[in-house]
Amino acid sequence: MKKIIIINGPNLNLLGKREPGIYGAQSFEDFYAELKTKYEAFELSYFQSNIEGELIDKIQEVGFSYDGIILNAAAYTHTSVGIGDAIKAIETPVIEVHISNTYAREEFRHQSFISPNAKGVILGFGLQSYELALQSFL
Ligand code: DQA
């Protein structure tokens, strides 16, 4: 069974409540529960943190044994050399995801320290971005 982890960065714990016009009305916990039932073929896990170093620790912890990381680094996408370097340092492939189409938003969201080191990028499909990323491991 393939081991896949979803890693969510800052403020994504507020999904469902946070700017629902951009990020939707569903909480990540509800969406994740649905995903787990639908994709029983994967050993799926989930980690969220608002703290950059905790995200780096988790990437390092899983990055030599898991089959895939689905990463929404949220705002750290646009600022974190450290998360970019962590992805470079590990062996597990990383799929970068975003709920919104970051290229249709403010210019500071057009920069990503994740993309150059990711296997692929999926963005703009709402929470479905995570599902499409998961399907890439089928
Ligand atoms: C986001 C896009 C980022 O620019 C933003 O800071 C987020 C969420 C997304 O999933 O659309 O927090 O990563």
Note the pLDDT tens digit of each residue in 3-30: 999 999 999 999 999 999 999 889 999 9
Note the pLDDT tens digit of each residue in 58-117: 999 999 999 999 999 999 999 999 999 999 999 999 999 999 999 999 999 999 999 999
Which fold would CATH assign to domain 2-136? Rossmann fold (3.40.50)
- For residue 64, the model assigns a pLDDT of 98
Q: How far is CA 16 from CA 3, 76, 114, 119, 122, in A?
A: 27, 20, 25, 28, 20
pTM of this structure: 0.97
Q: Is the C-beta atom of 98 inside 6 A of ligand 1?
A: yes
- Residue boundaries of the structural domains of the chain: 2-136
Note the pLDDT tens digit of each residue in 30-40: 999 999 999 99
**Substitution candidate for ligand 1 out of 11, 100, 115 with most atoms within 8 A of CB:** 100
